[in-house]
């Protein structure tokens, strides 16, 4: 009976750990709510051409600033465009920016942090001083500076946000590496002749990855807000792109007379940020080995 409770291989141990994490995640109602919202946003992004009630860029100056109704569920904007159609297509842009930033930030931060923590010495000092320079400025202010230097556009906005978002990931990966680089199994692998590359790739990075994934997931909310902020200031997606921040900027002039023009993208930004936060919190609890 006791032998059945002990993992017979590393793969069996990992399967049991994954099953335990899944049970923890499934028992977290907030995390499930965030997951359902993110799944809904993903489906909306994938099915946008079929879900949108018409062309999101179609203008009609005879129907400008119409209030929400049975024909236009979220009303129309100052150019007579259907806000619901624009909001649905804007989901694609928001998720595209968030996912692309995550795919850039996670590997860069992980590599820099693991290299600094593993090699130590001058490598650690140089890399961490670079990280400190980036962390000396608020992330949004740094993203604004990079975006202003690179110019407006979605690709430049992604690059600017990524340049501002990778340092916290690097610091986290370094802390994780420092806690495990002198572990007994690392020393044993080193004595058996394992190279630095093998130790980093096969033994250290896999242990740092869960924490990095959780941190990146939690950062997705900040990325969504940063992308909306750049779009709001005209440094991100450019008109007539249906990006939520740009939609919010165009509707700020009608806050008292046509509140729905700004309320719809504002609520969408809030919903997406909340979903990423809830999902990230649940993922952190599920992957934390110290969880009771």
What does the pLDDT look like over 174-213, one tens digit per residue? 999 998 888 888 888 888 888 888 888 888 898 888 889 8
pTM over 0.85: yes
What contacts 141, CB < 8 A, 6 or more positions away? none
Read off the pLDDT band of 242 (50, 70, 90). very high
Task: Indicate if the pLDDT at residue 160 is higher than 70.
Answer: yes
Ordered domains of the chain (ranges, CATH) = 37-63+72-287 (1.10.3720.10)
What contacts 127, CB < 8 A, 6 or more positions away? 112, 115, 116, 170
Cis peptide before 240 (omega within 30 of 0): yes
Residue 174, pLDDT score: 94
The Cα diameter of the chain in Å comes to 78
pLDDT digits (tens, 9 = 90+) for 105-130: 999 999 999 999 999 899 999 999 99
Residue 109, pLDDT score: 94
């Amino acid at each position: 009976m006791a032998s059945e409770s002990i993992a017979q291989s590393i793969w069996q141990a990992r399967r049991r750990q994954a099953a335990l994490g899944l049970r923890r995640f499934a028992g977290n109602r907030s995390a499930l709510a965030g997951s359902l919202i993110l799944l809904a946003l993903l489906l909306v992004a994938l099915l946008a051409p079929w879900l949108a009630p018409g062309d999101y860029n179609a203008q009609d100056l005879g129907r400008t600033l119409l209030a929400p109704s049975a024909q236009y569920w979220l009303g129309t904007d100052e150019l007579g465009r259907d806000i619901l159609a624009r909001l649905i297509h804007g989901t694609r842009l928001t998720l595209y920016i968030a996912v692309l930033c995550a795919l850039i930030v996670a590997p860069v931060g992980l590599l820099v942090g693991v290299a600094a923590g593993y090699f130590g010495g001058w490598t650690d000092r140089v890399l961490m001083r670079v990280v400190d320079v980036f962390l000396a400025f608020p992330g949004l202010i740094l993203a604004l500076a990079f975006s202003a230097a690179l110019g407006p556009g979605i690709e430049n906005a992604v690059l600017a946000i990524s340049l501002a978002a990778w340092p916290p990931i690097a610091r986290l990966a370094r802390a994780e590496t420092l806690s495990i680089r002198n572990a007994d199994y690392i020393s044993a692998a080193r004595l058996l002749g394992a190279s630095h590359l093998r130790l980093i790739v096969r033994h250290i990075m896999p242990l740092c990855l869960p924490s990095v994934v959780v941190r990146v997931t939690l950062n997705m909310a900040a990325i969504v807000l940063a992308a909306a902020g750049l779009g709001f200031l005209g440094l991100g997606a450019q008109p007539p792109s249906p990006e939520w921040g740009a939609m919010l900027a165009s509707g700020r002039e009608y806050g008292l007379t046509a509140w729905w023009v700004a309320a719809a993208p504002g609520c969408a930004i809030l919903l997406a940020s909340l979903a990423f936060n809830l999902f990230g919190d649940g993922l952190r609890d599920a992957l934390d080995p110290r969880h009771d």
